[in-house]
Amino acid sequence: MAGKKRRLSYKKAVRRQKFLEQSIHSAQEIDKTLQLIQESLTFIDRHLTGYIADRIDAAQVPQEAQKIQSELTSHEISLDEMKKRNRGKDAAKKIFSQIDTAQKKLQDVSIKFRLFQKPANFEQRLQECKRILDEVKMQVPKLELRSVEQEAVQSQLDHCMKLYKTLSEVKSEVETVIKTGRQIVQKQQTENPKELDERLTTLKLQYNDLGAKVTEKKQELEKCLKLSRKLRKEMNTLTEWLAVTDSELTKRSAVEGMPINLDAEVAWSKA
């Protein structure tokens, strides 16, 4: 009986030792895997930082971007599976802590990867559109009608047409920047999506407002110029008539003499 108990105790000890050895081996494998993941994430993070600093985006190095995307996806799957396999185990608390640390690092690198996917020249293009619209905005007050003289109105209309042309030329770029910006916001490829979304909305409203104002002033100035030309033509006709009439009256007065009273003068001028 005692011998049987000893044999059972021995077998139990052997199983326990085997279990401990397996646990140690498993823990070592987890540590090794986590270390490799951490080293990979550090390497990727360093490269992404360099790309962003050098204004290089994913579209410029598509193969490298695809490689990074694949590695990040692989690390995410590995960490999730590692958590599932170790759920409920004795050493799970320590392992989970290590996995959480690695997942936090993965999250940070993934955010930087999304920033890397944003077109490197987007901010520059957005600022350039804003600069052009701001310049047009500063010129709009100069379109207020200051004179009905034909030359002055023509000068203002010429200036208005330059602004109109500027808005027409920048329209396509503004639309592209807004569309690209909305995609960046949707994909969270910026550190502050809300702030960028507000800037895009402001840009759109500013373009629409300037387009409406410049178009309105263009129509007003064209109408005024038309009236000014008509007035000048009529004034020239009147001036010519007055000159001819004055010449004729002068000649007649030299020959016939001027009437002695107003009624007679009126009748004489109509004769």
What string of DSSP letters covers 125-183?
HHHHHHHHHHHHHHHGGGGS-----HHHHHHHHHHHHHHHHHHHHHHHHHHHHHHHHHH
Return the minimum-mean-pLDDT range out of 83-87, 182-186, 229-233: 229-233
* Averaged pLDDT, 201-210: 97
Tell which wins on pLDDT, 60 or 259: 60
* Averaged pLDDT, 187-214: 96
Q: Give the whole-number percent of the chain exceeding pLDDT 90.
A: 58
Return the minimum-mean-pLDDT range out of 37-46, 81-90, 117-126, 194-203: 81-90
Q: What pLDDT, on the 0 to 100 scale, is given for residue 86?
A: 75
206 has pLDDT over 70: yes
Average pLDDT, the chain: 84
Output the CA–CA distances (angstroms, integers) from residue 69 to 50, 52, 74, 106, 182, in the order listed: 17, 16, 9, 12, 22
As a whole number of angstroms, the longest Cα–Cα distance in the chain is 168
107-161 pLDDT tens trace: 999 999 999 999 999 999 999 999 999 999 999 999 998 887 888 889 999 999 9
pTM score: 0.70
Q: What pLDDT, on the 0 to 100 scale, is given for residue 226?
A: 83
H helix runs in the chain, sequence order: 2-53, 62-86, 92-117, 122-139, 150-186, 193-256, 262-270
61-82 pLDDT tens trace: 999 999 999 999 999 999 998 8
